[in-house]
C-alpha cells in the first residue's frame, strides 16, 4: 500500500469568514428585537386571556386587601371557570358606582410606557375604572342581613364570615338591613371592610339596583403579588358557604 504524503508547503489554508463588528452588532440587535417582539405578543395574549394585574385603590377590602396592594386576576373566571360564593372578583363599573371623572391628559411617552409595562403586569393604568369585592350572592340566591345574631343569611342559612372587618364593639355583619334576591346573570357583592365599602348595598338606586352583571366581571383575584411582604394566596372560604343550599332549594 502506498501512503500519500501531504506537502504542507502547498496546502491552501482557508480562513473562516470574518464578520465586521457592525454586522455582528446588527445581528445582535435583530435577535434582541425579535425576542422582545415575541415577549410582547406572549404577554399580550396572557393579559388578554389568562391573567392580569390590578392595584387596590381603596380601603373597602381591608384587612384582606389594603391600599396599593397589587393582585393577580385569573381571567378564565367566569368565561371558563364558574364564579363561587366567597370569590374576590374584579369587575367593570356596572353604572354609577364610581364617581364620574375626566381623564387627565397623559403625554404620549407616559402613555406608551404604561401600556408597555401593563403587558408585563408591572402597571395597571385602568385599575381606577374597576372595582374589587367579594361575591356573597349568586344568581337566584336570597341574601339578607341581619338575623337576630347579626349574621348574614343566604337562602335562609346564617354564615360566619371570618374575613370581614367590623368597627370596634360592632357585631352586626352590615350597618344597614336588607333582603334581596339576586337576578339571573347577576351577583351580589360586598367589601370585607363591611362598614367602609360602597358595594351592592349602597348602589340599589343605580341602574343595576346594586347587582353586578356576570358579564362585567373581569376575573377572580387569586394572589397578592406586591409588595413582597404581603404576598399571599386569596381564598374564597369554602367552609363559610359549605352549608348554604343552592338557590331554590
Cα separation, 156 vs 141, whole angstroms: 10
Q: Is 43 a catalytic residue?
A: no
Nearest Cα residue to 91 out of 211, 245, 241:
211
Q: Residue 15's Cα: distance from chain center in Å? A: 58
Please enumerate in sequence order all residues whose Cβ is within 8 A of that of 119, keeping only pairs 6 or more positions apart, or say none.
Answer: 40, 43, 44, 47
**Do residues 87 and 81 touch, judged by C-beta distance below 8 A?**
no
Pick the catalytic residue: 53, 60, 173, 225? Answer: 60
60 is known as an active-site residue: yes
Instruction: Name the grid cell of 177.
Output: 338591613
Q: Which of 133, 172, 174, 200 is catalytic?
A: 133
Among residues 182, 198, 98, 111, the alpha carbon closest in space to that of 144 is found at 182
- Catalytic center residues: 60, 133
Amino acid at each position: 500500500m502506498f501512503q500519500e504524503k501531504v506537502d504542507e508547503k502547498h496546502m491552501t489554508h482557508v480562513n473562516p469568514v470574518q464578520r465586521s463588528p457592525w454586522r455582528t452588532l446588527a445581528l445582535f440587535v435583530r435577535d434582541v428585537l425579535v425576542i422582545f417582539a415575541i415577549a410582547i405578543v406572549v404577554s399580550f395574549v396572557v393579559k388578554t386571556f389568562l391573567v392580569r394585574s390590578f392595584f387596590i385603590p381603596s380601603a373597602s377590602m381591608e384587612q384582606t386587601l389594603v391600599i396599593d396592594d397589587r393582585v393577580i386576576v385569573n381571567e378564565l373566571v367566569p368565561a371558563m371557570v364558574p364564579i363561587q360564593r366567597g370569590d374576590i372578583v374584579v369587575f367593570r363599573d356596572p353604572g354609577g358606582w364610581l364617581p364620574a371623572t375626566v381623564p387627565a391628559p397623559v403625554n404620549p411617552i407616559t402613555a406608551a410606557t404604561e401600556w408597555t409595562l401593563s403587558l408585563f403586569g408591572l402597571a395597571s393604568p385602568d385599575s381606577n375604572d374597576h372595582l374589587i369585592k367579594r361575591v356573597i350572592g349568586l344568581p337566584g340566591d336570597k341574601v339578607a342581613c341581619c338575623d337576630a345574631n347579626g349574621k348574614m343569611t343566604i337562602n335562609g342559612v346564617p354564615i360566619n364570615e371570618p374575613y370581614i372587618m367590623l368597627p370596634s364593639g360592632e357585631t352586626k355583619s352590615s350597618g344597614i338591613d336588607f333582603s334581596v334576591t339576586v337576578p339571573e346573570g347577576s351577583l351580589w357583592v360586598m367589601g370585607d371592610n363591611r362598614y367602609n365599602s360602597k358595594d351592592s348595598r349602597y348602589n340599589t338606586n343605580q341602574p343595576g339596583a346594586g347587582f353586578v352583571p356576570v358579564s362585567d366581571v373581569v376575573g377572580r383575584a387569586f394572589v397578592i403579588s406586591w409588595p413582597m411582604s404581603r404576598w399571599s394566596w386569596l381564598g374564597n372560604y369554602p367552609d363559610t358557604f359549605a352549608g348554604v343550599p343552592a338557590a331554590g332549594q
